[in-house]
Amino acid sequence: MQLAIDIGNTNIKMGLFENNKLVKLYADGQSLIDILIENQSITHAILSRSGKEHREIEVLQQKGIPTFHMKNRLLLPMQLAYKTPDTLGADRVAGSVEASFMFPNFPVLKIDAGTCVTYDFINEKGQFIGGAISPGLRLRFKALHEYTASLPLVTSTDQQGFDLIGQDTTSAIASGVLNGISAEIYGIIKQYEQRFSNLKVVATGGDWSKFATMQESEIFARPNLVLEGLNRILNFNINSER
């Protein structure tokens, strides 16, 4: 059994894998120590973390579990045709690895709607080419509040946020941000579809569900894409050591 850990800017997700299948998912609030006590058969782990603290690695090492860290330039089952690979976020890499595995020999656009909205393109040869990074839902709400004199901070959105015409300031902000991100996503997908025939689109991220019903293109949603990609990278490195 293997453990994949994805510690992002906003959320923490951990997944147990057996025979390349996600068998148990852990979200925010779950202690890593408790997970290790509960699952004594974990043989390897992989960690992707935003920031510099590596307390999780210390815990795993104390338990004697070989741990691979995405910051250590691991071997990848995918070529990075990117000008600055050292600046590439581990979550972007892991999600792209899994998206490319889902659709081999196809051009793939992977969209991750989280703290940021990231767009990553993998060509039909399985090469990571690049993409784009845009502010996510919470960043846009926060910017409107902090860089204006009187706009409130919108922290939650309900169905009225999808209406085109907001009838008060809060719903107007929700409409602008939600519909703005949706229009951005849809527009970028269309540009990629015009440039690359047979394009496949894979989406993930904690905020994706807010935009899924607003899109017209065929999109394959995969909520645990990054964890699955991390596990695939882990297997690739384990097999390379043998």
Which run of H or E residues covers position 122?
strand 116-122
Closest CA to 218 of 204, 207, 203: 203
Q: Mark whether 34 is an active-site residue.
A: no
Contact 32, 58 (CB under 8 A): no
Rg (CA), the chain: 19
DSSP label of 123: -
Of the residues 6, 28, 86, 91, only one is catalytic, namely 91
User: How far apart, in Å, are the Cα atoms of 224 and each of 46, 102, 211, 221?
Assistant: 15, 13, 17, 9
- Characterise 21 by phi-psi region: left (phi > 0), alpha (psi -120 to 50), beta (else): beta
Residues noted as catalytic: 91
